Amino acid sequence: MAQAGRRWQRSLFPWLLSWGFAQCSTDPCVFTAERTINGKPQRLILGCYVDDLFTLYSDDGPGSLYESFTSDLAARWNVEDEGPVSDLLNVDISRDADHVLLQQH
């Protein structure tokens, strides 16, 4: 289905904006959301590629912005969290406590 990704984006993008995300002006498939929760600033950066979402977040604990977003997303659509990403568009991704390493082969 060649247009499935586009149809998904037509449904997803307005929902993201209504949820409080801002769409990046230089890449329309990147969104950011920021909120202060319990006095702590939190940020989500979301990338959408065809029908995949990639999320970077500052906190994923109970009551976090990430937890709230993923809960609302799952309530709206049938989504599956496939865990930490290890490769994206031919870029290998590895991480430790302080760094994220991107390597392209």
Residue 66 tokens read as 């990430």
For 32-59, the pLDDT digits (tens) are 999 998 888 999 999 988 878 889 888 8
Question: Rounded mean pLDDT of 70-87?
Answer: 87
Q: How far apart are CA 88 and CA 67, in angstroms?
A: 23
pTM of this prediction exceeds 0.75: yes
The predicted pLDDT at position 35 comes to 93
Tokens 């870029």 found at: 91
Compute the half-sphere exposure of residue 67: CA atoms within 13 Å on the CB side of its CA.
7
Question: Rounded mean pLDDT of 91-104?
Answer: 85
Q: Give the count of beta carbons closer than 10 Å to the beta carbon of residue 44.
A: 23
Residue 57 tokens read as 């977040």
What SS3 state is found at 84?
A: coil
Residue 21 has pLDDT above 90, yes or no: yes
Question: Rounded mean pLDDT of 58-81?
Answer: 90
pLDDT band at 71 (very low <50, low <70, confident <90, very high): very high
Contacts of residue 95, Cβ cutoff 8 Å, sequence gap at least 6? 84, 101
**Per this entry, what is the length of the chain?**
105
